[in-house]
Structure 1
Amino acid sequence: MVCVGKLFNNNSKVPSDENSNEVAIEDSDNDLLGNEGEEDEKDIDCVNDDQDMIENVDPNEQMCEELENDFMKSSSVSLIRCAAHTLNLAVSDFLKDIKDVRSKAKVVVKKLRTPTLLNLLRTKKLRKPMLECVTRWGSTYNMLKSLLEVKDFCCESSKDIKELYMTDDDWQQIESACDILFPAYNISLKLQNKQLELGDMFFAWYSCKLKVEQKTGWMSKNFAAALKKRGELLLNNSCVLAAVYLDPRYQLLLGDSEKELAKIFI
Protein backbone atom coordinates (compact mmCIF):
# COMPACT_ATOMS: atom_id res chain seq x y z
CA MET A 1 0.00 0.00 0.00
CA VAL A 2 1.26 3.48 -0.84
CA CYS A 3 0.14 6.58 1.06
CA VAL A 4 0.67 10.09 -0.29
CA GLY A 5 0.29 13.01 2.08
CA LYS A 6 1.00 16.74 1.82
CA LEU A 7 3.15 18.55 4.34
CA PHE A 8 1.46 21.44 6.16
CA ASN A 9 2.56 25.03 5.89
CA ASN A 10 3.87 26.71 9.04
CA ASN A 11 1.13 29.36 9.04
CA SER A 12 -1.80 27.24 8.05
CA LYS A 13 -3.69 24.22 9.34
CA VAL A 14 -4.62 23.07 5.86
CA PRO A 15 -2.31 21.64 3.22
CA SER A 16 -0.92 24.11 0.73
CA ASP A 17 -1.66 23.61 -2.94
CA GLU A 18 1.35 25.58 -4.13
CA ASN A 19 5.01 24.82 -3.53
CA SER A 20 4.12 22.00 -1.17
CA ASN A 21 6.36 19.01 -0.67
CA GLU A 22 4.69 15.64 -0.94
CA VAL A 23 6.04 12.52 0.62
CA ALA A 24 4.95 9.07 -0.47
CA ILE A 25 5.48 6.48 2.19
CA GLU A 26 5.47 2.88 1.22
CA ASP A 27 3.74 0.82 3.89
CA SER A 28 3.06 -2.81 4.41
CA ASP A 29 0.81 -4.90 6.59
CA ASN A 30 2.01 -5.83 10.05
CA ASP A 31 1.55 -9.44 9.00
CA LEU A 32 4.87 -9.33 7.08
CA LEU A 33 6.76 -10.22 10.23
CA GLY A 34 3.95 -11.85 12.08
CA ASN A 35 3.57 -11.48 15.82
CA GLU A 36 7.29 -10.99 16.46
CA GLY A 37 7.27 -10.02 20.12
CA GLU A 38 5.24 -12.92 21.48
CA GLU A 39 5.86 -16.62 21.74
CA ASP A 40 2.59 -18.23 20.86
CA GLU A 41 2.02 -21.79 21.96
CA LYS A 42 -0.65 -22.32 19.33
CA ASP A 43 0.13 -24.77 16.56
CA ILE A 44 1.48 -23.22 13.39
CA ASP A 45 0.79 -25.52 10.49
CA CYS A 46 1.89 -24.19 7.17
CA VAL A 47 2.16 -26.06 3.88
CA ASN A 48 4.33 -23.45 2.18
CA ASP A 49 7.94 -24.28 1.38
CA ASP A 50 11.08 -22.18 0.86
CA GLN A 51 10.34 -21.65 -2.81
CA ASP A 52 6.96 -20.14 -1.90
CA MET A 53 8.68 -17.62 0.35
CA ILE A 54 11.07 -16.57 -2.41
CA GLU A 55 8.23 -16.25 -4.90
CA ASN A 56 6.20 -14.15 -2.44
CA VAL A 57 9.06 -11.75 -1.83
CA ASP A 58 10.26 -11.07 -5.36
CA PRO A 59 6.99 -9.67 -6.80
CA ASN A 60 6.73 -7.27 -3.85
CA GLU A 61 10.27 -6.07 -4.39
CA GLN A 62 9.62 -5.61 -8.09
CA MET A 63 6.46 -3.63 -7.35
CA CYS A 64 8.40 -1.37 -4.96
CA GLU A 65 10.95 -0.61 -7.64
CA GLU A 66 8.23 0.16 -10.19
CA LEU A 67 6.46 2.49 -7.75
CA GLU A 68 9.74 4.19 -6.92
CA ASN A 69 10.45 4.82 -10.60
CA ASP A 70 6.96 6.24 -11.11
CA PHE A 71 7.21 8.63 -8.16
CA MET A 72 10.75 9.70 -9.01
CA LYS A 73 9.40 11.17 -12.25
CA SER A 74 7.79 13.87 -10.13
CA SER A 75 10.29 16.24 -8.50
CA SER A 76 7.84 17.07 -5.68
CA VAL A 77 7.46 13.48 -4.46
CA SER A 78 9.90 11.38 -2.42
CA LEU A 79 9.52 7.67 -1.79
CA ILE A 80 10.39 6.08 1.55
CA ARG A 81 10.51 2.31 1.68
CA CYS A 82 8.78 0.39 4.44
CA ALA A 83 11.38 -0.43 7.11
CA ALA A 84 9.58 -3.55 8.33
CA HIS A 85 9.33 -4.96 4.81
CA THR A 86 12.96 -4.11 4.09
CA LEU A 87 14.02 -5.98 7.24
CA ASN A 88 11.91 -8.93 6.10
CA LEU A 89 13.77 -8.98 2.78
CA ALA A 90 17.17 -8.84 4.51
CA VAL A 91 16.30 -11.73 6.82
CA SER A 92 14.90 -13.73 3.89
CA ASP A 93 18.23 -13.30 2.10
CA PHE A 94 20.05 -14.64 5.16
CA LEU A 95 17.71 -17.59 5.70
CA LYS A 96 18.60 -18.89 2.26
CA ASP A 97 22.15 -19.44 3.55
CA ILE A 98 20.98 -21.74 6.36
CA LYS A 99 18.40 -23.63 4.33
CA ASP A 100 19.90 -27.05 5.07
CA VAL A 101 19.98 -26.75 8.85
CA ARG A 102 16.49 -25.22 8.82
CA SER A 103 15.20 -28.25 6.95
CA LYS A 104 16.81 -30.61 9.47
CA ALA A 105 15.41 -28.62 12.37
CA LYS A 106 11.94 -28.71 10.86
CA VAL A 107 12.06 -32.52 10.57
CA VAL A 108 13.05 -32.83 14.22
CA VAL A 109 10.32 -30.40 15.35
CA LYS A 110 7.65 -32.26 13.40
CA LYS A 111 8.72 -35.51 15.05
CA LEU A 112 8.69 -33.90 18.51
CA ARG A 113 5.13 -32.71 17.93
CA THR A 114 3.79 -36.24 17.48
CA PRO A 115 1.49 -37.42 20.33
CA THR A 116 3.93 -39.96 21.77
CA LEU A 117 6.86 -37.58 22.05
CA LEU A 118 4.62 -34.74 23.24
CA ASN A 119 3.64 -36.88 26.21
CA LEU A 120 7.31 -37.52 26.97
CA LEU A 121 8.03 -33.79 26.79
CA ARG A 122 5.20 -33.07 29.21
CA THR A 123 6.51 -35.59 31.71
CA LYS A 124 9.83 -33.74 31.66
CA LYS A 125 8.01 -30.38 31.89
CA LEU A 126 9.31 -29.24 28.50
CA ARG A 127 7.36 -27.07 26.12
CA LYS A 128 6.19 -28.17 22.69
CA PRO A 129 8.51 -26.83 19.98
CA MET A 130 6.99 -24.35 17.57
CA LEU A 131 6.72 -25.09 13.86
CA GLU A 132 7.75 -22.40 11.40
CA CYS A 133 5.57 -20.74 8.81
CA VAL A 134 8.11 -19.78 6.14
CA THR A 135 6.24 -16.62 5.08
CA ARG A 136 6.87 -15.20 8.57
CA TRP A 137 10.54 -15.27 9.50
CA GLY A 138 9.75 -14.61 13.17
CA SER A 139 8.22 -18.10 13.37
CA THR A 140 11.50 -19.52 12.02
CA TYR A 141 13.41 -17.78 14.80
CA ASN A 142 10.93 -19.08 17.38
CA MET A 143 11.16 -22.61 15.97
CA LEU A 144 14.95 -22.69 16.23
CA LYS A 145 14.87 -21.12 19.68
CA SER A 146 12.25 -23.57 20.99
CA LEU A 147 14.24 -26.48 19.53
CA LEU A 148 17.30 -25.41 21.53
CA GLU A 149 15.22 -25.65 24.69
CA VAL A 150 14.76 -29.39 24.10
CA LYS A 151 18.28 -30.05 22.85
CA ASP A 152 19.20 -32.35 25.74
CA PHE A 153 16.02 -34.35 25.25
CA CYS A 154 16.76 -34.77 21.54
CA CYS A 155 20.35 -35.87 22.18
CA GLU A 156 19.23 -38.48 24.71
CA SER A 157 16.32 -39.77 22.64
CA SER A 158 18.18 -39.81 19.30
CA LYS A 159 19.79 -43.11 20.28
CA ASP A 160 16.40 -44.78 19.87
CA ILE A 161 14.66 -42.32 17.55
CA LYS A 162 16.77 -41.58 14.49
CA GLU A 163 14.57 -38.66 13.37
CA LEU A 164 15.78 -36.66 16.38
CA TYR A 165 19.46 -36.98 15.57
CA MET A 166 21.39 -33.84 14.69
CA THR A 167 25.15 -33.40 14.56
CA ASP A 168 27.06 -31.09 16.88
CA ASP A 169 27.66 -28.81 13.91
CA ASP A 170 23.91 -28.61 13.27
CA TRP A 171 23.23 -27.58 16.86
CA GLN A 172 26.03 -25.03 16.68
CA GLN A 173 24.54 -23.51 13.53
CA ILE A 174 21.12 -23.28 15.18
CA GLU A 175 22.61 -21.52 18.20
CA SER A 176 24.51 -19.10 15.97
CA ALA A 177 21.45 -18.39 13.84
CA CYS A 178 19.35 -17.57 16.92
CA ASP A 179 22.08 -15.33 18.30
CA ILE A 180 22.45 -13.46 15.01
CA LEU A 181 18.71 -13.09 14.36
CA PHE A 182 17.93 -11.82 17.86
CA PRO A 183 18.80 -8.13 17.16
CA ALA A 184 16.52 -8.12 14.10
CA TYR A 185 13.79 -9.96 16.01
CA ASN A 186 14.10 -7.42 18.80
CA ILE A 187 13.54 -4.37 16.58
CA SER A 188 10.85 -5.87 14.36
CA LEU A 189 8.00 -4.56 16.52
CA LYS A 190 9.57 -1.11 16.69
CA LEU A 191 9.68 -0.91 12.91
CA GLN A 192 5.95 -1.72 12.75
CA ASN A 193 4.99 1.10 15.11
CA LYS A 194 2.48 3.40 13.41
CA GLN A 195 3.95 6.43 15.22
CA LEU A 196 7.55 5.61 14.35
CA GLU A 197 9.65 8.66 13.55
CA LEU A 198 12.22 8.49 10.78
CA GLY A 199 15.04 9.23 13.22
CA ASP A 200 14.00 6.33 15.46
CA MET A 201 13.75 4.04 12.44
CA PHE A 202 17.23 5.06 11.31
CA PHE A 203 18.69 4.41 14.77
CA ALA A 204 16.92 1.04 15.14
CA TRP A 205 18.32 -0.17 11.81
CA TYR A 206 21.77 1.27 12.55
CA SER A 207 21.95 -0.38 15.98
CA CYS A 208 20.75 -3.75 14.61
CA LYS A 209 23.37 -3.69 11.87
CA LEU A 210 26.08 -2.73 14.37
CA LYS A 211 25.19 -5.58 16.74
CA VAL A 212 25.29 -8.11 13.91
CA GLU A 213 28.64 -6.83 12.64
CA GLN A 214 30.15 -7.21 16.12
CA LYS A 215 29.51 -10.96 16.04
CA THR A 216 31.94 -13.42 14.49
CA GLY A 217 31.52 -16.19 11.95
CA TRP A 218 30.29 -16.57 8.40
CA MET A 219 26.65 -16.22 9.42
CA SER A 220 27.15 -12.78 10.91
CA LYS A 221 29.08 -11.67 7.82
CA ASN A 222 26.33 -12.87 5.49
CA PHE A 223 23.55 -11.28 7.53
CA ALA A 224 25.49 -8.02 7.89
CA ALA A 225 25.94 -7.97 4.11
CA ALA A 226 22.21 -8.52 3.61
CA LEU A 227 21.38 -5.71 6.04
CA LYS A 228 23.81 -3.39 4.27
CA LYS A 229 22.45 -4.21 0.82
CA ARG A 230 18.81 -3.76 1.77
CA GLY A 231 19.56 -0.86 4.12
CA GLU A 232 21.09 1.23 1.35
CA LEU A 233 17.73 1.32 -0.44
CA LEU A 234 16.01 2.29 2.81
CA LEU A 235 18.42 4.75 4.43
CA ASN A 236 20.18 6.41 1.47
CA ASN A 237 17.13 8.55 0.94
CA SER A 238 17.23 12.35 0.98
CA CYS A 239 14.00 12.59 2.94
CA VAL A 240 15.20 10.13 5.59
CA LEU A 241 18.60 11.81 5.83
CA ALA A 242 16.95 15.20 6.24
CA ALA A 243 14.77 13.89 9.07
CA VAL A 244 17.80 12.38 10.82
CA TYR A 245 19.81 15.56 10.30
CA LEU A 246 17.07 17.61 11.97
CA ASP A 247 16.89 15.17 14.90
CA PRO A 248 19.56 16.21 17.45
CA ARG A 249 19.53 12.73 18.96
CA TYR A 250 20.84 10.98 15.87
CA GLN A 251 22.49 13.67 13.74
CA LEU A 252 25.95 12.50 14.79
CA LEU A 253 25.31 9.16 13.03
CA LEU A 254 25.44 10.85 9.64
CA GLY A 255 28.62 11.25 7.61
CA ASP A 256 29.68 14.47 5.93
CA SER A 257 28.32 13.45 2.53
CA GLU A 258 25.00 12.40 4.06
CA LYS A 259 24.70 15.73 5.86
CA GLU A 260 25.27 17.58 2.60
CA LEU A 261 22.50 15.59 0.89
CA ALA A 262 20.20 16.36 3.81
CA LYS A 263 20.93 20.08 3.58
CA ILE A 264 20.26 20.11 -0.15
CA PHE A 265 16.90 18.38 0.38
CA ILE A 266 15.91 20.78 3.15
Structure 2
Amino acid sequence: MIRKRYLLRNAGAALALAALAGCTGMNTTQSGAIGVNRTQYMSSMVPSQALEQEANQQYAEILQQAKAKGLLDRDAQQLARVRAISQRLIAQAPVFRPDASGWKWEVHVLSSDEINAWCMPGGKIAVYTGLISKIKPTDAELAAVLGHEISHALREHARERVSQQMATNLGLSVLSIATGSSAASDLGGQLTSVMFTLPNSRTHETEADRMGVELAARAGYDPRAAVTLWQKMGAAEQGSAPPEFLSTHPSAASRISDLQSAAQQVLPLYEQSKGKAAAR
Protein backbone atom coordinates (compact mmCIF):
# COMPACT_ATOMS: atom_id res chain seq x y z
CA MET A 1 0.00 0.00 0.00
CA ILE A 2 2.82 2.40 0.85
CA ARG A 3 4.50 1.55 -2.45
CA LYS A 4 1.24 2.21 -4.31
CA ARG A 5 0.73 5.61 -2.68
CA TYR A 6 4.33 6.50 -3.46
CA LEU A 7 3.87 5.65 -7.12
CA LEU A 8 0.61 7.59 -7.30
CA ARG A 9 2.20 10.68 -5.75
CA ASN A 10 5.05 10.53 -8.24
CA ALA A 11 2.64 10.03 -11.13
CA GLY A 12 0.60 13.02 -9.99
CA ALA A 13 3.69 15.16 -9.74
CA ALA A 14 4.81 14.05 -13.18
CA LEU A 15 1.45 14.96 -14.71
CA ALA A 16 1.48 18.35 -13.01
CA LEU A 17 4.96 19.02 -14.35
CA ALA A 18 3.87 17.88 -17.80
CA ALA A 19 0.93 20.27 -17.69
CA LEU A 20 3.17 23.12 -16.64
CA ALA A 21 5.60 22.22 -19.39
CA GLY A 22 2.69 22.46 -21.84
CA CYS A 23 1.98 26.04 -20.80
CA THR A 24 2.90 28.74 -23.26
CA GLY A 25 5.13 31.58 -22.14
CA MET A 26 3.76 34.98 -23.10
CA ASN A 27 3.40 38.59 -22.04
CA THR A 28 -0.28 39.49 -22.22
CA THR A 29 0.36 43.24 -22.13
CA GLN A 30 2.89 45.74 -23.30
CA SER A 31 5.10 47.06 -20.51
CA GLY A 32 3.84 50.64 -20.47
CA ALA A 33 5.84 53.41 -18.85
CA ILE A 34 5.64 51.58 -15.53
CA GLY A 35 7.54 48.58 -16.91
CA VAL A 36 5.38 45.49 -16.32
CA ASN A 37 7.02 42.79 -18.43
CA ARG A 38 6.97 39.49 -16.51
CA THR A 39 6.66 36.35 -18.64
CA GLN A 40 3.38 34.57 -17.91
CA TYR A 41 2.52 30.93 -18.53
CA MET A 42 -0.92 30.03 -19.85
CA SER A 43 -2.21 26.50 -20.35
CA SER A 44 -3.64 25.53 -23.72
CA MET A 45 -6.46 23.97 -21.68
CA VAL A 46 -7.63 27.47 -20.73
CA PRO A 47 -8.26 29.38 -23.98
CA SER A 48 -8.79 33.09 -23.51
CA GLN A 49 -12.05 33.02 -25.49
CA ALA A 50 -13.47 30.17 -23.41
CA LEU A 51 -12.72 31.99 -20.17
CA GLU A 52 -14.24 35.22 -21.48
CA GLN A 53 -17.36 33.34 -22.53
CA GLU A 54 -17.69 31.87 -19.06
CA ALA A 55 -17.11 35.32 -17.53
CA ASN A 56 -19.84 36.80 -19.73
CA GLN A 57 -22.27 34.12 -18.60
CA GLN A 58 -21.47 34.55 -14.91
CA TYR A 59 -21.64 38.33 -15.19
CA ALA A 60 -25.07 38.14 -16.85
CA GLU A 61 -26.31 35.85 -14.07
CA ILE A 62 -25.00 38.21 -11.38
CA LEU A 63 -26.74 41.18 -13.03
CA GLN A 64 -29.97 39.21 -13.45
CA GLN A 65 -30.02 38.21 -9.80
CA ALA A 66 -29.25 41.77 -8.68
CA LYS A 67 -31.98 43.18 -10.91
CA ALA A 68 -34.53 40.68 -9.59
CA LYS A 69 -33.76 41.90 -6.07
CA GLY A 70 -33.82 45.57 -7.02
CA LEU A 71 -30.08 45.93 -6.37
CA LEU A 72 -28.84 46.79 -9.87
CA ASP A 73 -27.93 50.40 -10.78
CA ARG A 74 -30.38 51.89 -8.29
CA ASP A 75 -28.79 55.34 -8.19
CA ALA A 76 -28.57 56.89 -11.69
CA GLN A 77 -26.19 59.64 -10.57
CA GLN A 78 -23.89 57.17 -8.86
CA LEU A 79 -23.90 54.90 -11.91
CA ALA A 80 -23.11 57.83 -14.21
CA ARG A 81 -20.13 58.77 -12.04
CA VAL A 82 -18.69 55.26 -12.00
CA ARG A 83 -19.19 54.86 -15.74
CA ALA A 84 -17.63 58.23 -16.56
CA ILE A 85 -14.49 57.39 -14.59
CA SER A 86 -14.38 53.88 -16.06
CA GLN A 87 -14.65 55.14 -19.62
CA ARG A 88 -11.69 57.47 -19.17
CA LEU A 89 -9.62 54.57 -17.87
CA ILE A 90 -10.82 52.16 -20.56
CA ALA A 91 -9.78 54.68 -23.21
CA GLN A 92 -6.19 54.27 -21.97
CA ALA A 93 -6.26 50.45 -21.86
CA PRO A 94 -4.79 50.08 -25.41
CA VAL A 95 -1.53 51.50 -24.03
CA PHE A 96 -1.07 48.09 -22.42
CA ARG A 97 -2.94 45.96 -24.96
CA PRO A 98 -4.37 47.36 -28.22
CA ASP A 99 -7.00 44.62 -28.55
CA ALA A 100 -8.73 45.89 -25.38
CA SER A 101 -10.34 48.61 -27.49
CA GLY A 102 -12.44 45.85 -29.03
CA TRP A 103 -13.57 44.35 -25.73
CA LYS A 104 -17.28 44.51 -24.88
CA TRP A 105 -16.82 46.51 -21.70
CA GLU A 106 -19.68 46.76 -19.22
CA VAL A 107 -19.92 48.76 -15.99
CA HIS A 108 -22.60 48.37 -13.34
CA VAL A 109 -23.14 49.29 -9.69
CA LEU A 110 -24.47 46.66 -7.28
CA SER A 111 -26.17 47.70 -4.05
CA SER A 112 -24.29 45.89 -1.29
CA ASP A 113 -22.69 46.87 1.99
CA GLU A 114 -19.47 45.14 0.94
CA ILE A 115 -16.46 47.34 0.21
CA ASN A 116 -15.64 45.71 -3.10
CA ALA A 117 -15.11 46.07 -6.85
CA TRP A 118 -13.95 43.71 -9.57
CA CYS A 119 -13.39 43.30 -13.30
CA MET A 120 -13.88 39.92 -14.94
CA PRO A 121 -12.03 38.69 -18.05
CA GLY A 122 -13.09 40.65 -21.11
CA GLY A 123 -13.92 43.83 -19.20
CA LYS A 124 -17.03 43.11 -17.11
CA ILE A 125 -16.90 45.57 -14.19
CA ALA A 126 -18.91 45.82 -10.98
CA VAL A 127 -18.61 48.35 -8.16
CA TYR A 128 -20.40 47.81 -4.86
CA THR A 129 -22.18 50.71 -3.19
CA GLY A 130 -20.45 49.88 0.10
CA LEU A 131 -17.16 50.97 -1.44
CA ILE A 132 -18.64 54.36 -2.31
CA SER A 133 -20.65 54.97 0.86
CA LYS A 134 -18.10 53.71 3.40
CA ILE A 135 -14.77 54.72 1.85
CA LYS A 136 -16.18 57.90 0.26
CA PRO A 137 -13.52 57.95 -2.46
CA THR A 138 -12.73 61.03 -4.48
CA ASP A 139 -12.93 60.58 -8.24
CA ALA A 140 -9.17 60.03 -8.35
CA GLU A 141 -9.36 57.41 -5.57
CA LEU A 142 -12.22 55.64 -7.33
CA ALA A 143 -10.10 55.73 -10.50
CA ALA A 144 -7.35 53.98 -8.52
CA VAL A 145 -9.75 51.17 -7.57
CA LEU A 146 -11.10 50.79 -11.08
CA GLY A 147 -7.67 51.07 -12.67
CA HIS A 148 -6.41 48.30 -10.41
CA GLU A 149 -9.28 45.97 -11.28
CA ILE A 150 -9.12 46.74 -15.00
CA SER A 151 -5.41 45.93 -14.89
CA HIS A 152 -6.15 42.44 -13.54
CA ALA A 153 -8.32 41.84 -16.62
CA LEU A 154 -5.84 43.34 -19.07
CA ARG A 155 -3.07 41.19 -17.61
CA GLU A 156 -5.30 38.08 -17.70
CA HIS A 157 -4.45 37.22 -14.12
CA ALA A 158 -7.59 35.08 -13.79
CA ARG A 159 -6.57 32.96 -16.78
CA GLU A 160 -3.06 32.61 -15.42
CA ARG A 161 -4.34 31.40 -12.05
CA VAL A 162 -6.86 29.00 -13.62
CA SER A 163 -3.99 27.60 -15.72
CA GLN A 164 -2.04 26.97 -12.52
CA GLN A 165 -5.05 25.26 -10.96
CA MET A 166 -5.48 23.09 -14.05
CA ALA A 167 -1.89 21.90 -13.74
CA THR A 168 -2.40 21.07 -10.07
CA ASN A 169 -5.68 19.28 -10.72
CA LEU A 170 -4.08 17.10 -13.38
CA GLY A 171 -1.65 15.84 -10.81
CA LEU A 172 -4.36 15.32 -8.21
CA SER A 173 -6.57 13.48 -10.69
CA VAL A 174 -4.15 10.56 -10.61
CA LEU A 175 -4.67 10.21 -6.87
CA SER A 176 -8.44 10.31 -7.36
CA ILE A 177 -8.22 7.06 -9.33
CA ALA A 178 -7.35 5.26 -6.11
CA THR A 179 -10.07 6.92 -4.05
CA GLY A 180 -12.79 7.16 -6.67
CA SER A 181 -13.14 10.91 -6.11
CA SER A 182 -12.85 13.65 -8.74
CA ALA A 183 -10.07 16.22 -8.33
CA ALA A 184 -10.84 18.17 -11.47
CA SER A 185 -13.39 20.99 -11.42
CA ASP A 186 -15.21 22.77 -14.22
CA LEU A 187 -13.89 25.95 -15.80
CA GLY A 188 -16.76 28.00 -14.42
CA GLY A 189 -16.13 26.83 -10.87
CA GLN A 190 -12.45 27.63 -11.15
CA LEU A 191 -13.17 31.10 -12.53
CA THR A 192 -15.53 31.77 -9.63
CA SER A 193 -12.87 30.58 -7.22
CA VAL A 194 -10.08 32.80 -8.52
CA MET A 195 -12.37 35.83 -8.96
CA PHE A 196 -14.28 35.80 -5.69
CA THR A 197 -12.67 33.41 -3.20
CA LEU A 198 -8.93 32.91 -3.46
CA PRO A 199 -6.61 35.85 -2.73
CA ASN A 200 -4.48 37.25 -5.52
CA SER A 201 -0.75 36.64 -5.40
CA ARG A 202 1.60 39.41 -4.36
CA THR A 203 2.99 39.47 -7.91
CA HIS A 204 -0.45 39.94 -9.45
CA GLU A 205 -1.37 42.62 -6.93
CA THR A 206 1.83 44.57 -7.55
CA GLU A 207 1.30 44.43 -11.31
CA ALA A 208 -2.30 45.60 -10.99
CA ASP A 209 -1.25 48.39 -8.62
CA ARG A 210 1.43 49.69 -10.96
CA MET A 211 -0.60 49.40 -14.14
CA GLY A 212 -3.58 50.93 -12.38
CA VAL A 213 -1.74 54.11 -11.38
CA GLU A 214 -0.50 54.50 -14.96
CA LEU A 215 -4.02 54.11 -16.35
CA ALA A 216 -5.24 56.71 -13.85
CA ALA A 217 -2.43 59.14 -14.66
CA ARG A 218 -2.98 58.85 -18.40
CA ALA A 219 -6.74 59.35 -17.86
CA GLY A 220 -6.10 62.61 -16.00
CA TYR A 221 -6.47 61.39 -12.41
CA ASP A 222 -3.79 62.09 -9.84
CA PRO A 223 -1.97 58.75 -9.39
CA ARG A 224 -1.03 59.70 -5.82
CA ALA A 225 -4.68 59.10 -4.92
CA ALA A 226 -3.89 55.38 -4.90
CA VAL A 227 -1.92 55.99 -1.71
CA THR A 228 -4.72 57.86 0.07
CA LEU A 229 -7.18 55.22 -1.11
CA TRP A 230 -5.25 52.41 0.55
CA GLN A 231 -4.84 54.50 3.67
CA LYS A 232 -8.64 54.76 3.81
CA MET A 233 -8.91 51.03 3.17
CA GLY A 234 -6.52 50.38 6.03
CA ALA A 235 -8.61 52.57 8.34
CA ALA A 236 -11.75 50.66 7.36
CA GLU A 237 -9.94 47.43 8.23
CA GLN A 238 -9.71 48.53 11.86
CA GLY A 239 -13.38 47.66 12.32
CA SER A 240 -14.83 44.35 13.42
CA ALA A 241 -14.18 42.73 10.04
CA PRO A 242 -11.89 43.67 7.14
CA PRO A 243 -13.51 44.94 3.93
CA GLU A 244 -14.08 42.24 1.32
CA PHE A 245 -11.79 44.21 -0.98
CA LEU A 246 -8.95 43.76 1.50
CA SER A 247 -9.66 40.10 2.18
CA THR A 248 -8.74 39.30 -1.42
CA HIS A 249 -6.32 42.23 -1.92
CA PRO A 250 -3.68 42.04 0.81
CA SER A 251 -2.40 45.40 2.02
CA ALA A 252 0.81 46.25 3.83
CA ALA A 253 3.21 49.12 4.47
CA SER A 254 5.42 47.79 1.68
CA ARG A 255 2.47 48.08 -0.70
CA ILE A 256 1.91 51.72 0.22
CA SER A 257 5.60 52.36 -0.35
CA ASP A 258 5.49 50.71 -3.77
CA LEU A 259 2.41 52.73 -4.73
CA GLN A 260 4.15 55.95 -3.71
CA SER A 261 7.09 55.06 -5.92
CA ALA A 262 4.89 54.06 -8.86
CA ALA A 263 2.80 57.24 -8.54
CA GLN A 264 5.91 59.40 -8.71
CA GLN A 265 7.09 57.48 -11.77
CA VAL A 266 3.91 58.21 -13.75
CA LEU A 267 3.34 61.72 -12.38
CA PRO A 268 4.69 63.28 -15.63
CA LEU A 269 1.95 61.43 -17.54
CA TYR A 270 -0.64 63.00 -15.25
CA GLU A 271 0.84 66.46 -15.82
CA GLN A 272 0.79 65.88 -19.58
CA SER A 273 -2.83 64.77 -19.41
CA LYS A 274 -3.79 67.90 -17.47
CA GLY A 275 -1.95 70.03 -20.00
CA LYS A 276 -3.83 68.46 -22.90
CA ALA A 277 -7.16 68.95 -21.11
CA ALA A 278 -6.34 72.63 -20.47
CA ALA A 279 -5.42 73.11 -24.13
CA ARG A 280 -8.82 71.83 -25.18
Length-normalised TM-score, structure 1:
0.28
